[in-house]
Amino acid sequence: MIELAEMVRELRRELGAAMADGVGEAVRFELGPVEIEATVAVERAAEGSGKVRFWVVEAEGGGKDTRSRTQRITLTLQPVAVGPDGTPRSALISGGEVDGER
């Protein structure tokens, strides 16, 4: 399992790589809302802090006993590129198609 924050961090890295690949390309695409659907395990630590964590889980069955509950969540993110001067601008991406990409 990975933490939900790690999954979003990886998505940000991938989108950044696609934007970098598009620099200088004749055709670029403006990035619209990004929807992520994931099954997460919500776990509350029994320690004094009472921290709640969200773990992304694989969608497969198994005989493992856990003390967490799974929930299905959808996140809609609106990516915004930030210029060197700190002003927001449209995120433009490009790059080749990856196997299995939709």
The pLDDT, as a whole number, for residue 65 is 45
Bridge-based pairing of strands 81-82 and 2-3 is unpaired
**46-85 per-position pLDDT tens digit:** 666 666 677 787 655 554 444 567 778 888 888 888 888 9
Short-list 86, 89, 95, CA closest to 27: 95
The pLDDT, as a whole number, for residue 21 is 87
**21-54 per-position pLDDT tens digit:** 888 888 888 888 889 888 888 776 666 666 667 7
The pLDDT, as a whole number, for residue 71 is 79
Short-list 51, 44, 41, 56, CA closest to 3: 56
Count of H helices and E strands in the chain? Answer: 1, 8
Bridge partners of 30, per DSSP, are: 92
The pLDDT, as a whole number, for residue 61 is 52
The residue ranking higher by pLDDT, 95 or 66, is 95
Is the pLDDT confidence value at 101 over 60? no
